Amino acid sequence: MSDYLDTLKNLNLRPNKVKVKEHTEEILMEVDIPEPKQILQELFIQMGEISNMPSGKRKDMAILRLAIIAEYDAASLYEKMAEEVSDKNVKKTLLHIANEEKVHIGELEFLLEHVDPEHETNEEKGEEEVMDLTGLDAPPNE
């Protein structure tokens, strides 16, 4: 989360305040929130940088990670749109599309696990750290 906030701060965008949960405490924090158009531009800027990388595993990993970010942004955007529309069929379809974006995240995560040999291990380490920190159990489907 803080990496994401750092990225947002470095984009030199309009100032805003957001509530951020630090452990169990909710704090008010001054950060710059990008407009959706700027988020899309940032993805294209990052893709431009990745394009300059030599072909190979590292470039493929960078593209998959960026694609996952794009899918999360798309899913969030469709959910926000669904909240705002009044027509129930438009709302239903937007939520359906948001869920399809989440399936795309699953597809890309699956590929990343195959391309990045450390992805799975790091994910498991992260889960263990959170379970130790919070006392949470593994989700029931794992």
Binding residues for Fe ion (CB under 5 A): 71, 101, 104
Cβ atoms of residues 63 and 86 within 8 Å: no
CB of 101 to Fe ion, least distance (A): 4
Residue whose Cβ sits closest to Fe ion? 104
For Fe ion, which is the closer residue by CB, 61 or 68? 68
Query: Strand pairing of 25-32 and 15-22?
Result: antiparallel
Q: In the chain, where does DSSP find H-type helix?
A: 2-9, 36-51, 57-84, 88-115, 119-134
Q: Between 99 and 134, name the residue whose CB sits nearer to Fe ion.
A: 99
Structure-token pair, residue 37: 């158009």
Dihedral sign computed on CA atoms, order 34, 51, 116, 114: positive
Nearest approach in angstroms of CB 71 to Fe ion is 5
Residue 42 or 101 with smaller CB distance to Fe ion: 101
**Least CB distance to Fe ion at residue 74 (A):** 5
